[in-house]
Amino acid sequence: MQDINLGDILTGLENSDSNSTRFSENWSQGRSAFGGLSAAFAVTAMRKKLAQSQTIRSLMVSFIAPVIPGEVNVEANVLRQGRNVTQCSANVISGGQIALQAMAAFGNPREAFKPATAGNKKLPNRDSGISFSDNAKRLPPFLQYFDGCWTDGGIPFSGNYKPFLNMWVRHKQDVSSFPVEKLVAIADIPPPVLLSHFEKPPVPASSLSWSLEFIEAPEELTSEWFYLEFEVEAAADGYTQQSGRIYDELGRLVALTRQSMVYFG
């Protein structure tokens, strides 16, 4: 199958009357597509349902079954259209079954109270980190489409467990035509932080559920690089919960994320 980038894959979906597109094995993560790509399919299909352009405010995703490389279809619906907020849902269909379900809230900006903050976060220098390419043998195929580096915390399969993971990430290709999907894909880059406990891959792991809240409107962000801080909040019985904060290049908090994951170690 032809190797195509994220922008091409999403353009195919956006222009498709049947809400279908294709992606290659290079976007895989184990048996399934990279979760950020699968969630981006749902976002694109839900955006197509909006009566007018609205900013995404929150996204909730359930990963149900593998999204197999090849053709995928997306079924999207508007659940409620209010004066300011539109609630949508989407099913990503792969191999004839529902592989992912998502819900999103899109909302218009309104006059509102905005409390003062401590200002932009001071971020570490990207040159001080360990690049993805330096750990190429331990990385899933989809990471070839991203530049990035670990700056602190537990690197997967280091055998040195730390309950947090910090990194810089950017897309290698231009995906500025899809600002929401651009940020959604970035937000799902970090692996389970718990994988730093293990010394050797593979340790199968995947997300069960994911919520993402947007602090800043993705369409207004000009940042190419994003800084991610993730931490383990709990782990037991083969499941782990982790949360994260995502910053733009200026140190502005742009999104909050939380995931429930399963691993087989």
pLDDT tens digits, 59-87: 999 999 999 999 999 999 999 999 999 99
70 part of a folded domain: yes
Which residue segment(s) compose the domain that 57 sits in? 6-109+120-263
Q: CA-CA distance, 175 to 235, in Å (whole number)?
A: 35
- Read off the pTM: 0.93
Task: State yes or no: pLDDT of 142 exceeds 60.
Answer: yes
For position 127, what pLDDT does the model report? Answer: 83
218 part of a folded domain: yes
Task: State yes or no: pLDDT of 138 exceeds 70.
Answer: no
Task: State yes or no: pLDDT of 137 exceeds 60.
Answer: no
114 part of a folded domain: no
pLDDT tens-digit readout, 181-232? 999 999 999 988 888 888 777 777 889 999 999 999 999 999 999 999 999 9
Q: CA-CA distance, 38 to 221, in Å (whole number)?
A: 22
Q: Confidence class of residue 129 from pLDDT cuts 50, 70 and 90? A: confident
For position 246, what pLDDT does the model report? Answer: 98
For the chain, give the mean pLDDT: 92
Q: CA-CA distance, 247 to 256, in Å (whole number)?
A: 9
Average pLDDT over residues 139-168: 89
Task: State yes or no: pLDDT of 50 exceeds 60.
Answer: yes
Q: Which of 148, 153, 190 is nearest to 169 (CA)?
A: 148
- Which CATH number fits the domain that encloses residue 180? 2.40.160.210
Strand arrangement of the beta sheet that strand 164-171 belongs to:
20-23, 70-81, 85-94, 97-107, 55-63, 205-214, 253-263, 239-247, 226-236, 164-171, 146-153, 130-131
115 part of a folded domain: no
142 part of a folded domain: yes
176 part of a folded domain: yes
1 part of a folded domain: no
Count of structural domains within the chain:
1
Task: State yes or no: pLDDT of 1 exceeds 50.
Answer: no
Average pLDDT over residues 234-257: 95
